[in-house]
Amino acid sequence: MRNGYWIFDADTHFHASAETLEPFLDPMLRDMKDELQTREFRTGWAGEEMPEPYTHLYRLGSEGGWGAAPPRILGEAGPRPNAQRHFQNFQGFTFPTPGGSDWDSDVRVRDMDEEGVDVHLMVPGAASGHPDPAVDMAMLRSVHRQLDDMCSRHPGRLMSLILATARDVEGSVLEIKRYADSPWARGVWVS
């Protein structure tokens, strides 16, 4: 708290690695675990280079998505030849401590204390885009279970959004009802 005001950061991210999401996996995903694709997680959510051995993220859809195409320069019709992405440095010199954007709520809260932040609203991420919408819904249920566990360790400090998908409205409504009264739930994110 500064000058009587709570410091509320509403643009932090939570995206569980495949390794840390495993204990929370929906039974449907457990049964098809060998079929699920993963990719190495080499760049952190704040643009930092991650150390080896890399963790993995589930990939349920195409190879597209953020960062899949060559970078383009604003105002130019297409990417430059041989254009490559580079690591961003948009927040100063201190990156989040490893584990804080994934599974370790204590590390996240220590980072928050160091930054002088009272509350994090974590924008959750979940793999999606599987041809079967039921698989996407199972991933959302898994992420909600992990969020519920992580946020319950620091109530009032860690908050997030309930994920919903337009591909399964009934399933999304059930998830919203299941978590709407949770202390961490502050809104709904529809994809």
75 pLDDT higher than 90: no
124 is a domain residue: yes
pLDDT band at 91 (very low <50, low <70, confident <90, very high): low
pLDDT over 70 percentage in the chain: 87
72 is a domain residue: no
166 is a domain residue: yes
1 is a domain residue: no
- Residues in Cβ contact with 66 at an 8 Å cutoff, skipping those fewer than 6 apart: none
In this prediction, residues 147-168 reach a mean pLDDT of 95
**b/e per residue 94-118 (b: at least 16 CB within 10 A):** ebbeebbbbbbbebbbebbeeeebb
26 pLDDT higher than 70: yes
21 is a domain residue: yes
The Cα–Cα gap between 189 and 130 comes to 18
93 is a domain residue: no
75 vs 185: which has the higher pLDDT: 185
Confidence at residue 8, expressed as pLDDT on a 0 to 100 scale: 94
- Residues in Cβ contact with 111 at an 8 Å cutoff, skipping those fewer than 6 apart: 96, 97, 100
71 is a domain residue: no
pLDDT band at 33 (very low <50, low <70, confident <90, very high): confident
CB atoms within 10 A of CB 30: 12
Domain count, the chain: 1
Residue 136 belongs to domain with CATH number: 3.20.20.140
Whether the full predicted model's pTM is greater than 0.85, yes or no, is: no
40 is a domain residue: yes
Question: Is residue 148 helix, strand or coil?
Answer: helix
The residue range of the domain holding 105 is 8-66+99-190
- Residues in Cβ contact with 166 at an 8 Å cutoff, skipping those fewer than 6 apart: 172, 190, 191
68 pLDDT higher than 70: no
pLDDT band at 50 (very low <50, low <70, confident <90, very high): confident
Confidence at residue 41, expressed as pLDDT on a 0 to 100 scale: 74
Phi (first) and psi of residue 156, to 5 degrees: 85, -15
85 pLDDT higher than 60: yes
Lowest model confidence (mean pLDDT) among 5-14, 15-24, 74-83, 169-178: 74-83
84 pLDDT higher than 80: no
